[in-house]
Structure 1
């Protein structure tokens, strides 16, 4: 597969999973409505005070991260290519009494779909692997930012994609393989036992260097790249739960499982 039909494959897969994600324990929508924060501590610390600032969340899925930024004082807009996901996000916003704008559009069409510039563009956590062209994505981000604004990206570390599925300590796959990855699997990360009609998906591998280079080529100035030793789900069978995250057991060598990046658009 050359990956050219990735939207036609991936959209129905994501559409079908929305009801399971809204109802399941992984996203815990009821907990969010009751006041549980959705964002990770490192994201809140790295982004800083968002009071009164405009924020666009690209590939927002059902919008919980978007709405958490709104709770913290941002004026938010979320964008996703799945209409059912955007419908769910609007429903959660209405139930929570949070003012937010949600738009259905492909991420590459975000400038026209959103029709505005923002102080902050936020994205990540399983987003970039669905996109074939990082240079085009970074250009979209740059065009959405006000001068002096910044991108904050949180993402799963690509090192995790090359390690064995059992322990996550042995290299088993090629880090530099950039061919589209086609999968045909039932279930979802939010409910491994769920059954669906649409089981095919197409993903794309990007190294950390690919991401940084694309962001820099778009004219953004990288302020930091932080690597984190935990992840949000049991990516490897040996990982142990530690509150809301998963880590390697004590004494086992650690590897980066997530990373975060902040890059700003120059004022002149």
Structure 2
């Protein structure tokens, strides 16, 4: 295990919050005005959430969390960054959703204790979350412990295959099965905005098989695994915009999976 990975990542994400909140990428004014932050396929895949309790792990500033609240869910967002939770709580108040949304500061591995053993109808975790976690089986056990009987995990993520590709989005430049953690030192985050002051971060690569196996090993039943040929931002220069927050390879060119989604149920 890389020493102090949790401290480095928490400090890095604390620094990102102010930059992200002011960025065009996240566009909080548009969200306050009613813009939906979910990918178009997500509500169809998860199904009706009105009246259901939904926990969003690693929620960052809460836009995805609150998008589910706008659909009628009673939501809880959890993130290890106190700065992110403060921003998310303020956003809930600004959008009139504070009566059905709360936000909690906790490392995801300590979520069960932080939430006092509460169980949820839905556990949701979204884009760019799993690379920050070194131990997937432990994460999957936490998810299972947070689900009510018959409850579902809904996971939407960047496809791990994309981590193999070079900057052009065409050539494979990395070993898919290299699971070792990597330490990076980047001056900027992935959005527009000024440089960060705490720049060290640690990430892990998780092959798709490891993710599904961890969920099955925690006793969850896999309902579906969908691989998507589009992503939410122009990660590679070859990608072309195809809709709201949707970018694809040009028609006629070979495609690779860019995102995936999993729904898994805790048996009753």
What TM-score do you get using the length of structure 1 for normalisation? 0.96
Q: Secondary structure, in 3 states, of the residue corresponding to 1:41?
A: coil
Displacement after TM superposition at 1:242 (Å):
2.3
Q: Distance in 2 between matches of 1:92 and 1:177?
A: 39
Q: Which runs of 4+ in 1 moved over 3 A?
A: none
- Aligned partners of 1:4, 1:68: CA distance in 2, in Å? 36
Matched, 1:131 2:130: no
- RMSD over aligned Cα atoms: 1.0
* Secondary structure of the structure 2 residue equivalent to 1:9: helix
Unaligned runs of 5+ in 2: none
Matched ranges for 1:134-213 at <5 A = 134-166=136-168, 168-191=169-192, 194-213=194-213
For residues 105 and 213 of structure 1, what CA distance do their matches in structure 2 show?
25
Residues 84 and 207 of structure 1: CA distance in aligned 2, closer, same or farther (over 3 Å): same
Give the Cα–Cα distance (whole angstroms) in 2 for the partners of residues 104 and 38 of structure 1. Answer: 22
* Structure 2 CA distance for partners of 1:143 and 1:44, relative to 1, 3 Å: same
What's the secondary structure of 1:241's corresponding residue? Answer: strand
Distance in 2 (CA, whole Å) between partners of 1:252 and 1:186 is 34
- Could you tell me whether the CA contact under 8 Å between 1:150 and 1:264 is conserved in 2? yes
Number of aligned positions between the proteins: 264
1:119 to 115, 121, 126: 121
In structure 2, what is the Cα distance between the partners aligned to 1:121 and 1:53? 11
* Aligned-residue offset at 1:249: 1.9
Mind listing any 5+ residue stretches in structure 1 that lack a counterpart? none
Does 228-237 or 197-206 show the bigger shift? 228-237
Aligned-partner SS, 1:66: helix
- Give how far 1:221 is off: 0.1
**Which residue of 1 is the match for residue 249 of structure 2?**
248
How many angstroms does 1:56 deviate by?
A: 0.2
| Aligned-pair CA distance for 1:235 | 1.7
Once the two structures are superposed, residues 179-205 of structure 1 have per-residue CA deviations (whole angstroms, 9 ceiling, x without a partner) of 1111111211122x5311111110001
- Counterpart CA distance in 2 for 1:200 and 1:247 is 31
Q: How does 1:1-268 map to 2 (within 5 A)?
A: 2-98=1-97, 99=99, 100-115=101-116, 116-166=118-168, 168-191=169-192, 194-243=194-243, 244-267=245-268
Distance apart, 1:124 and its partner CA: 2.0
Q: Provide the C-alpha distance between the structure 2 equivalents of 1:251 and 1:184, rounded to a whole number of angstroms.
A: 37
Q: Decide whether the 8 Å contact of 1:169 with 1:253 is kept in 2.
A: no
Give distance in 1, aligned partners of 2:2 and 2:190. Answer: 22
- Asked whether the 8 Å contact 1:58–1:121 carries over to 2, the reply is yes
After superposition, give the CA deviation of every residue in 1:1-33 in whole Å (9 maximum; x if it has no partner): x42421111111100110111111111111111
CA distance, structure 2, for counterparts of residue 157 and residue 201 of structure 1:
20
Residue aligned with 1:122, SS: strand
Q: Distance in 2 between matches of 1:49 and 1:189?
A: 32
SS in structure 2 opposite 1:44?
helix
